[in-house]
Amino acid sequence: MRIFALTMAVALLACEAKAAADVAALRASGDWRLTEPGGRVACTLTFTRQTSFAGYEVKAPMACRLAFPPLKLVAAWTMDERGAIVLSDAHAQPIVTFPAQARGPYEAKAPDGRTWRLEPVRSDRDTPGADERPVSTAPLG
């Protein structure tokens, strides 16, 4: 009976950790800017909420895949239980893992040895006060 209870407790904790990682991943969906520190090239990757067998689909323009050749293999993205962003291939094999960051952009070594920097693209909606528009008090007409 104890073994059953212990097994159930471990399974429950694993499910909770997976659910927390999924929620964090959904919050991370959207546009991300990929650069090379000090480089002149920047690309926008889109982390979608569309599920795939390897996580969620990632979209990258062809120009981005040419500028960052290892991206040619990337088919999906996920966020692991530690908060790292993992880009993987069509066989769910990790291509590059960006370790979780408390602050600042994510950085990782790509398979080609270059350092990649990844940070969310901020929209006007993400900016504090963006929804606050000046209101005219002038009469209409």
Q: Residues 36, 122: contact at Cβ < 8 Å? A: no
Q: What is the mean pLDDT of residues 17-32?
A: 64
pLDDT digits (tens, 9 = 90+) for 30-47: 999 999 998 889 999 999
Please, what is the average pLDDT of the chain? 78
SS3 readout for 11-54: HHHHHHHHHHHHHHHHHHCEEEEEECCCCCCEEEEEEEEEEECC
User: Does residue 65 register a pLDDT over 90?
Assistant: yes
- Domain ranges in the chain are 19-122
Q: Residues 26, 35: contact at Cβ < 8 Å? A: no
CATH of region 19-122 = 2.40.128.10
Distances (CA, A) of 74 to 20, 63, 122, 131, 133: 24, 14, 23, 35, 40
Alpha carbon distance 11, 29 (integer Å): 27
pLDDT digits (tens, 9 = 90+) for 92-104: 999 999 999 888 8
H or E element: which one contains 115? Answer: strand 115-120
Alpha carbon distance 86, 59 (integer Å): 14
